[in-house]
Structure 1
Amino acid sequence: MLRVVLTLVCAVVLAACAGDHRQSYALPLNPMLFEPEKIAQADTLVIGIPGALSSVGVLAPLQQWRSDRLSVAFYRLPGMDGRGRSESLSLRRAAETISIFVQSTGIKRVYFVGFSTGSAIAMESAKRLRRADPEMEIKIAGVSSAVPLPQPYIAGLKGAGDLLSAASRTGSLSRSVYWPEYFRTLLYGPRTERDAIEAASAEVLLEERQQRVTMPDVDLARSHGLALLGWTNANKADLAEVPIFLFHGEHDPVFSARAIRRFSDRLPQAEALVFKDQGHLLLLTVPGLFDLMRAKLGID
């Protein structure tokens, strides 16, 4: 039963972030989205990894980082951005795919930007790459990062409570009715229920994205939602030489700021940057977030 609840919560939480951005170049057959001619000229590679049920479009501003020597690639999750859905989302398979792709490019400087579940995939990818090439320079920026066990289960229980609260406020058990209400909680945390300023800000963002907030496919939600349930962040010593910057909301209703601080303290070389009065969707609510990530990663 707990897994069912968590799957539903993951679906509601992360599908709210999915964008409708369209890429200007053809999709490759493999899960990676990239421009081969740009990769061939680059000595630095940025890889964007979205969260469960999210399009690579949520990380579209990364494309503005491109230069003659820096290329950007994205990892497409199963069932998203034109990728088939024949396989379930697996952190291990995703990390293996990404590490093989990176090694095939010959590039020795790699920066990851991951959102939520994508941050966990970035860490697992970095471990594989460091084991394969200890000299490779790797850095990670994680936005609203997932946290290892038991936090995914705790997130499921908390999320179930938030969903019930949203249903109570709307007076409806219809997901199409209470989901937009829960979206407000995702934006700025539970404070939107009692803080007029935060509630107004959430309302503006909700209105701007009303047409994009649609219920995800149940099977796809189940596939993506279960991916984190076995993540323990094993072999974290492989991240000893990998700077990790964790950007997190003070009132994140999914993975708490307290949990992210503890997680950061247990990583060999990590820094938690907690944003006051913010929730889970920093990609929508923090102006200049991508510029800040770029500066932290040391990209000119």
Structure 2
Amino acid sequence: MMMNSTQVPYFILAAYIDTGLFKYICFVIIMSLYVVIVGSNVLLIVVICMNRSLHEPMYLFLCSLFVNELFGSTGLFPFLLVQILSDIHTVSAPFCFLQIFFVYTYGSIEFTNLAVMSYDRYLAICYPLQYNTLMPHQKTALLIALTWLYPFIAIPVLLSLSVPLQLCGNIINKVYCDNYSVVKLACYDTTVNNIYGLTYTTSLISVVVFIIYSYVRILRVCFSGSKQTRQKAVSTCTPHLASLLNFSFGASFDILQSRFNMNGVPNILRIFLSLYFLTCPPLFNPLMYGLNLSKIRVSCKNLISNMSSWY
């Protein structure tokens, strides 16, 4: 649908497939995933908050990660559920930009939170004797605050550049709103948007470099250290690396799909992979950390046992 240069009142999400009665099965699957995500993340947040022995930097960073999983899921799943049952896949412009805020803020917080967790593991493994001095509670609180504050400042600036754009179309070829897809619809020059987007992306690349540096140092210590040091590194770093790779894979594909022509990829596969970084990390992170970290696993069992005894 081509339009005159204007600020469009709504967008059409063109990636939805007419599945007939199958949409009700999709609805049940998506609803089940959302219930599992909310339940598992809330459980681990409650466990960490209620158990004083888990008020350590590593678990507080995990709590921040789980809160972000709920934040991102809330910005996506209820919207998906409504769209799956709808025959007309449109979304108002204000709600579209609100969803962009949720999705982009979630992605940024997820990435920076994982970077902070890399830094925490680097200090714990490379400087075990000085760890408590290098990572006091004040520093932990500051890092968590910065993890959330930076995206909550950067993403509104990004949106402030996108909202006033005069658009010559209103079709977004995705199942949710995406800022880059909106910018591509602009009739006029988007140099400022592109420069800011590039600057923000560069800041995230610097985070990637920091994560790589942290793990290079950790690996050096592991190879030169004792068997006990290696075991500690493996037990605490494996879930974090799995989370990092899981999120990075999904986010990288979504970026590639937005920037390049992916018409050769089947539509159903493109939909699945575009949703991957928004659905799989919130689903798998609680399971990975809950199963791999013994303190969380034991605390979860105790909490569930106590709740069962009340009834």
| Fold shared per TM-score above 0.5 | no
- Higher strand fraction: Structure 1 or Structure 2? 1
TM range (shorter): under 0.3
User: Which has more radius of gyration?
Assistant: 2
When normalised by structure 1's length, the TM-score is: 0.28
- Higher helix fraction: Structure 1 or Structure 2? 2
Taking CA–CA contacts closer than 8 Å with sequence separation of 6 or more, which of the two structures ends up with the larger relative contact order? 2
